[in-house]
Structure 1
């Protein structure tokens, strides 16, 4: 294709940056204006589409209907795929190594420069393999949807007359393919000494690094998890608490990497949040600075539902006659050529793409419905998931998450096998992770999803592939397989069909499953208070409403009628692996194994669990006060006042028991670590009780051998670098007073404030009252459930915008890592007590060792301690912690770090303290 010299060509457009209800506009004549939203809307409707960053968020902040725009995020995603950037003018400036703008006006003036920088970058890399087909794609976008950046991109590439084509979307043609290798040999079992762990840590840090004795001590303690196991079921267990600032990531990476290299087997590092997963991956660059070497040695693993599915991408492209899908698919295709591992839910994928085009543009591109056909897929050899599974087997470190590790253990090992050595970072979340992994939900959503998995699409625009279609090559015309398959598909019609939520709400159930859900719904509504409307409702199973036991028995029979043919199909397919061993091709064998695994996990296991749950309904209720193995209850789930699901729920009373049995016991060494493992409140004078509590919460009490305990204090001077205040003159029930307090505190800090709420409704009430006055003061306010951004993007924006403030709930309390000045104030609206649910009631009764109030205190104290830890991430950080709940007991605040002195005061004094303390040099 003939090329010309690249040219820089920008759209003739004004530049717009939105505040709350107003915005800054740089006109095409070079005039810089600050105008109210109404005036901006009138100007923009009559002119060319403006340059801006994040169109949905811009229009929402201005409060005007969406208009055409030249969104710089689209240009960034095209020119710099798989590169991180917060979706704001300041975030783009930082990503492009420009000085960040000081205010909205300077940001508007900067937007043309950012566009120019992106086009220069594209022009400089126009001969790179990534950009081989970029011009054809841009030409297609210009021709089909009149993409406003098309001419600019073509000019930068020097190919204004490129042939338009959809071929660049077919990225599977250009992706590398994996090759099968021999199974790895068994690992050796050479231990790591404490001295070797310290030496490896020093090598990672390099010469001249700051001396951190706590980090070296921690690495030494972590090495105990990498000793030789002496008895089956008795792993080398280490419970290590490392205060914030210790440097625990590299502290455990040192012995872990050394053990893996020496014994030729990977060490798995598991986290609770995606954010920490990403941080650990980034930290390993200190160990393996060469990117290619690091990619081989460090593998990030997540569930299949997180990765781009190339077959789904192909199907979407084939159906992409709809104009609104062409641009997002083009940007995803550009990313797919540049991504490290194909992870759509974190990693190097820009989460804001889903916000620009809607979740429907990205959600269908991953296999979130369990429809993978494995080797029957034409893109199997290029599959991102298969790449990551194979890379993990020969990696040094596998960075996974608690959910994947536990689910695979519950399923018997999974595709990755059972790891021998595991590091559980964020170990304080093991109880919650196990609670989720080892629970069972018999709900309308779960059972309807099983029907969809079996029957496929039943009308509408869904492209869901049913079991018959996924297995057609394996079943063929064999009667021994066709008969149980057809019988199972017929039995699946007893499950909730399309439209079941509406029928449930309208008291018009159809079929066996819907009749049971309807009976559950009636009982829940009858047993709960009317003033709970708008929120989830729940009730105990017993005493049963009339008709519930009969509906449960009928559904149990229906499940049995479905389980039987599926079990037959599973058995006959599996038998082929032996009966036809000499005839089966490798691909057919893989397909059969995958089909059997899918049948077992997606259908047979849940049907068995649901059948057991239904059987328990007919059993006599246990006597009050008797300790159960499981906690069962009925619930009606609501979202924003609308019923969305109903069903029966079953959780282990103590979920750490199955964790200990299925995850920890089979391993040879396990390190559980966190900054907040122990409860340092009322048990501070009894260290043994504090350690006992930590062992109970992490499941170590269920193992035969005792754990090695280690505690390394934080090097931070919390007494000098923080202040903790409890405001005692703000009514916690008066939204006006709460909002006024947030406004005053955020203004006093000049931004950098994180507001944490115990309920979404309270967050929304406060946001509605303070967003505009903060915007007038130059402080942007972002919020969960309010802004057109997901949590990860909100945190990225908050980190980049040092004058911004952020409102959030639990996810923000645990998932925010914002070092530096961007987070300098943390405000709680009220004490984060545990939610008074049936499950909590039973655990409070049976797991509290006769001290139910202490059980509640420990949970709240832990949450406050975790939140406080967000404030100080580096030695030079400063921060103020404020609690707006005058009822806060002093015993809860005893869990804050050593040196922190809590002061109770009025709002006026709190505002002065925030202003004066943060203003100090």
Structure 2
């Protein structure tokens, strides 16, 4: 298939915007036309040169084009030239990245600039290394066959190969098979246990000064922070009693370098690793960039500073091979999916760590091509076969694990750190020879940045859920695909190599398969659950369409994009313990929903997630729980036997063991325990609780058990459907947080700008006591040390805060207020919402009006970009505005003029669900209202923290809620001028402050 164009100048060029779009016609005329006219104009023109085709179609309200895309997308050309380099997916973003404009130049770019960007990339393409040019020549025939629109232009731009014959198709196909030419990792001697030499306060200050250099911006308090942080790097005196430092450092203190200084000294002195844990991916990258001061050499930094995330974030080479092979075996007209695989092959050869989600693969990659592609090739199935995989020694995950074992800094996230801690705590000692318990090793020194999120992270890490999706997922993991065209492999297939060495495994695996088939939900479970509920709620029998199969073997991460594997069961299958239990949970929830709905009825209407208490428990539910308990135990019995059989084989290795076989056994035991046995143990404990009295400690419930119904994810079904879940959360999730860390941890630094609540009625000591209870340090044996360092910013001169008194909660009025505020600031505004529905409504009403004023409006849950990409766009397009929810309230770092206004739609009260109800009842010290206020003030502190990031920033903070109580205003830093004003008066004051 030939391209439509031989030159970029043959194509029209388009930058679509809300308001006036910029279009260059084929005869060179530059037009600024309304978005509504662009649709009609494009129908008369060839496909244009543009940026991010799918986003452009959505903006134009046009249906998606079937692949391959006919337009010339500059992002695809950028990927070809710079496959492991991120860029903001806008004209300004590309121009800045390619140094075509100055960062100070904020003039809106017109569509004719796209030709300059394209020509610059083509010139860069011609200057690539000879090796890459040779690779591109081999990949071009595949791109041509797949219908890539850039083919002819790129072919003509590439220098010709000298003294080479015509490449064979076999060589062209091999160019896609990146797994054949990636570097291999090699084993290293185990790292000895870290030493215990302390880091003194003076040493920490000297190291900080050396890292910053003489020309660094002075940051009052940064050296004091480094001194305080050094306490976490002193040796502990008593077993199970780590040294804990709580360090609250106001925005702008420079806490990252403040803790890197003592941490790096400790790592060097003791040949150990410091684990730095964050809540957001963005901060992980930011910390890695800060470590450039410590490790200026990129090669050294790559070895000594390692970012670690969950396995599901990384490229799985075996999955990539499966997808590639499937597409290569299709007829030529069905090979358009090879286009993104070519780019992934180029990226895999250039990437630093193989991180698909937030690493050096651009965040817009998945949206640009096939939705769900990245899920298909990531390690999301829990089916890793470790050393039995043919790509084991080139695996990105295994590379990262081995680098982390010898690094000085491991930059992880709270979710991974706490799941690892929970895993270590659950694994019985007899199943943990050597380093089997933890593939990362067990850290002794932690830094928890964004430490105020520890309770939320612990709540997620230590909670349990039994639901239809969870149970069906375990069934698929054990059995593999059941019908359809899924590539999911079951245990029997994944353990074939072990059965060859250990033949007695086969009978145990067959017993496990039989018990799983009998006990866990069969394909089509959600349709039967939905029909059963419809039959209960309908006075007359109704015909209902069965939802499309939602079992995990038809999830997008298991199947090709165009494969749908509905498993319509014509005859009603026999009853099954798990399905019977789920249906009884559903019935129990319906019986209690009226009471719950009345309690939660308000301006927001009914909550989408419906829930009720588990207790008191009716007799029918108890009976179904007994049957489910028996079924789960029947599954766990052979699973336990399999693990112990593998453990015996591992312990009975000869004096000169087979290293590969040993690694295979270790990986399998780890996978079986983590993926199946620990999950079954949790479910059994939950189900037993139905037949017993709730567990209490000191008169307080240990757990909060409740039932919850949620719609099934839209990507898994085509019609109506829902899931039902039994949830168990710790009343105080910091109890397991403390118990799992205190035995192995020697030093712990918890830091954030918002560790303490700023209650107007409390002194500093009381605030610290509350912070210790909330963060869980009160559960450790050794009381923590405390340090507080104030922000260096002059908030009295740099900020203003307004509470608008005359804006009602009517959607039209709210939208008008947002529009007026965003216009007076001329962009650079972040709008924060407490409900997605209201965010979408405001966006719908104002995006075109703002576009006409040259103020682009982006929105989480509207624009199909991940949060990191949206923030990049917002940061780059300095006159743009961004709407978001909780994820935009925390961890967004946008310094300078790009963020000069934050607008909060409503007071961010905690959601009044069952979990919050129980915690405010039992953890509030008898003052539930204070507990609500504390959470709300902490949220306001975080939201305000987005506004001022540098000493020269200026900004305004606005709350569109006249009901905002004065007692919450202490959340703002001291000195912030706060006024309650009508909107018009506030607009005048804001205009004077921002634009003077």
Cα distance in structure 2, aligned partners of 1:358 and 1:764: 25
1:495 aligned onto 2:494: no
Deviates more, 1:577-586 or 1:375-384: 577-586
Residue pairs, 1:177-188, within 5 angstroms: 177-188=184-195
Cα distance in structure 1, aligned partners of 2:72 and 2:613: 55
Among candidates 114, 117, 125, match of residue 114 of structure 1: 117
Structure 1 residues 8 and 706: CA distance shift in structure 2, 3 A: farther
Q: CA deviation at 1:794?
A: 0.8
TM-score for the superposition, normalised by structure 1? 0.96
Whether the 8 Å contact between 2:19 and 2:850 is mirrored in structure 1 is no
Cα distance in structure 2, aligned partners of 1:664 and 1:190: 20
Cα distance in structure 2, aligned partners of 1:139 and 1:477: 44
Among candidates 576, 593, 602, match of residue 511 of structure 1: 576
Q: Which residue of 2 aligns with 1:826?
A: 902
Residue pairs, 1:884-899, within 5 angstroms: 884-899=960-975
Whether the 8 Å contact between 1:24 and 1:104 is mirrored in structure 2 is no
Q: Which residue of 2 aligns with 1:868?
A: 944
1:653 aligned onto 2:731: yes
Cα distance in structure 2, aligned partners of 1:795 and 1:246: 23
Deviation by residue 1:582-624 (Cα, 9 ceiling, x = unmatched): 5852111111111111111111111111011111111246899
Among candidates 694, 701, 710, match of residue 628 of structure 1: 701
Cα distance in structure 1, aligned partners of 2:527 and 2:123: 54
Deviation by residue 1:192-230 (Cα, 9 ceiling, x = unmatched): 111110111111111232332311111111111111111
Residue pairs, 1:623-772, within 5 angstroms: 626-638=699-711, 643-683=721-761, 685-732=762-809, 734-772=810-848
Secondary structure of residue in 1 paired with 2:611? strand
Among candidates 378, 385, 406, match of residue 394 of structure 1: 406
Q: CA deviation at 1:132?
A: 3.7
Cα distance in structure 2, aligned partners of 1:462 and 1:23: 43
Among candidates 562, 574, 585, match of residue 635 of structure 2: 562
Q: Which residue of 1 aligns with 2:853?
A: 777
Q: Which residue of 1 aligns with 2:453?
A: 429
Among candidates 617, 623, 626, match of residue 553 of structure 1: 626
Q: CA deviation at 1:312?
A: 0.8
Cα distance in structure 2, aligned partners of 1:154 and 1:147: 12
Q: CA deviation at 1:345?
A: 0.9
Structure 1 residues 639 and 311: CA distance shift in structure 2, 3 A: closer
Q: CA deviation at 1:8?
A: 10
Structure 1 residues 715 and 665: CA distance shift in structure 2, 3 A: farther
Cα distance in structure 1, aligned partners of 2:693 and 2:748: 41
Deviation by residue 1:843-902 (Cα, 9 ceiling, x = unmatched): 101111111110100000000000100001111111110000111011111111111121
Whether the 8 Å contact between 2:458 and 2:734 is mirrored in structure 1 is yes
Cα distance in structure 2, aligned partners of 1:713 and 1:89: 40
Deviates more, 1:208-217 or 1:430-439: 208-217
Q: Which residue of 2 aligns with 1:137?
A: 139
Q: How many residues align?
A: 910
Cα distance in structure 1, aligned partners of 2:511 and 2:253: 60
Cα distance in structure 2, aligned partners of 1:506 and 1:199: 69
Q: CA deviation at 1:643?
A: 4.5
Q: Which residue of 2 aligns with 1:52?
A: 50
Q: CA deviation at 1:10?
A: 2.8
Cα distance in structure 1, aligned partners of 2:239 and 2:847: 59
1:486 aligned onto 2:510: yes
Among candidates 63, 71, 79, match of residue 69 of structure 1: 71
Q: CA deviation at 1:21?
A: 6.2
Whether the 8 Å contact between 1:9 and 1:156 is mirrored in structure 2 is no
Whether the 8 Å contact between 1:781 and 1:805 is mirrored in structure 2 is yes
Among candidates 493, 498, 509, match of residue 474 of structure 1: 498
Q: CA deviation at 1:501?
A: 2.1
Cα distance in structure 1, aligned partners of 2:414 and 2:880: 32
Q: Which residue of 1 aligns with 2:429?
A: none
Deviates more, 1:640-649 or 1:627-636: 640-649
Whether the 8 Å contact between 2:830 and 2:882 is mirrored in structure 1 is yes
Cα distance in structure 2, aligned partners of 1:621 and 1:211: 55
Whether the 8 Å contact between 1:23 and 1:62 is mirrored in structure 2 is no
Structure 1 residues 374 and 639: CA distance shift in structure 2, 3 A: closer
Cα distance in structure 2, aligned partners of 1:778 and 1:414: 53
Q: CA deviation at 1:625?
A: 11
Secondary structure of residue in 2 paired with 1:436? helix
Whether the 8 Å contact between 2:19 and 2:852 is mirrored in structure 1 is no
Secondary structure of residue in 2 paired with 1:631? strand
Cα distance in structure 2, aligned partners of 1:15 and 1:55: 12
Structure 1 residues 370 and 622: CA distance shift in structure 2, 3 A: closer
Q: Which residue of 2 aligns with 1:442?
A: 466
Deviation by residue 1:648-684 (Cα, 9 ceiling, x = unmatched): 000111111111111244211110000000111235x
Cα distance in structure 1, aligned partners of 2:696 and 2:744: 35
Whether the 8 Å contact between 2:857 and 2:881 is mirrored in structure 1 is yes
Cα distance in structure 2, aligned partners of 1:461 and 1:89: 41
Structure 1 residues 722 and 828: CA distance shift in structure 2, 3 A: same
Q: Which residue of 2 aligns with 1:381?
A: 393
1:415 aligned onto 2:450: no
1:30 aligned onto 2:28: yes
Deviation by residue 1:312-331 (Cα, 9 ceiling, x = unmatched): 11111001134342111111
Structure 1 residues 11 and 465: CA distance shift in structure 2, 3 A: farther
TM-score for the superposition, normalised by structure 2? 0.89
Q: CA deviation at 1:579?
A: 2.8
Whether the 8 Å contact between 1:17 and 1:104 is mirrored in structure 2 is no
Whether the 8 Å contact between 1:826 and 1:880 is mirrored in structure 2 is yes
Secondary structure of residue in 2 paired with 1:670? strand
Structure 1 residues 51 and 545: CA distance shift in structure 2, 3 A: farther
Q: CA deviation at 1:476?
A: 2.8
Among candidates 840, 849, 871, match of residue 916 of structure 2: 840
Structure 1 residues 556 and 90: CA distance shift in structure 2, 3 A: same
Deviation by residue 1:347-380 (Cα, 9 ceiling, x = unmatched): 2111101111233211111111111111111111
Q: CA deviation at 1:162?
A: 6.5
Q: CA deviation at 1:69?
A: 1.4
Whether the 8 Å contact between 2:696 and 2:702 is mirrored in structure 1 is no
Deviation by residue 1:165-196 (Cα, 9 ceiling, x = unmatched): 22222112221111111101222211111111
Among candidates 127, 135, 160, match of residue 124 of structure 1: 127
Structure 1 residues 643 and 243: CA distance shift in structure 2, 3 A: farther
1:217 aligned onto 2:224: yes
Cα distance in structure 1, aligned partners of 2:203 and 2:676: 48
Cα distance in structure 1, aligned partners of 2:649 and 2:977: 70
Q: CA deviation at 1:640?
A: 9.0
Q: CA deviation at 1:694?
A: 1.1
Q: Which residue of 2 aligns with 1:243?
A: 250
Whether the 8 Å contact between 1:130 and 1:337 is mirrored in structure 2 is no
Whether the 8 Å contact between 1:11 and 1:148 is mirrored in structure 2 is no
Whether the 8 Å contact between 1:435 and 1:651 is mirrored in structure 2 is yes
Q: CA deviation at 1:546?
A: 5.1
Deviation by residue 1:101-133 (Cα, 9 ceiling, x = unmatched): 978973311111111111111211142x44441
Cα distance in structure 1, aligned partners of 2:521 and 2:891: 36
Whether the 8 Å contact between 2:219 and 2:252 is mirrored in structure 1 is no
Residue pairs, 1:598-609, within 5 angstroms: 598-609=671-682
Whether the 8 Å contact between 2:446 and 2:749 is mirrored in structure 1 is yes
Cα distance in structure 1, aligned partners of 2:697 and 2:357: 45
Q: CA deviation at 1:146?
A: 2.2
Secondary structure of residue in 2 paired with 1:359? coil
**Unaligned segments of structure 1, at least 5 residues:** 1-6
Cα distance in structure 2, aligned partners of 1:131 and 1:244: 47
Whether the 8 Å contact between 2:246 and 2:785 is mirrored in structure 1 is yes
Deviation by residue 1:473-518 (Cα, 9 ceiling, x = unmatched): 1013855211110111111122123332222111189522111111
Q: Which residue of 2 aligns with 1:149?
A: 150
Whether the 8 Å contact between 1:171 and 1:337 is mirrored in structure 2 is yes
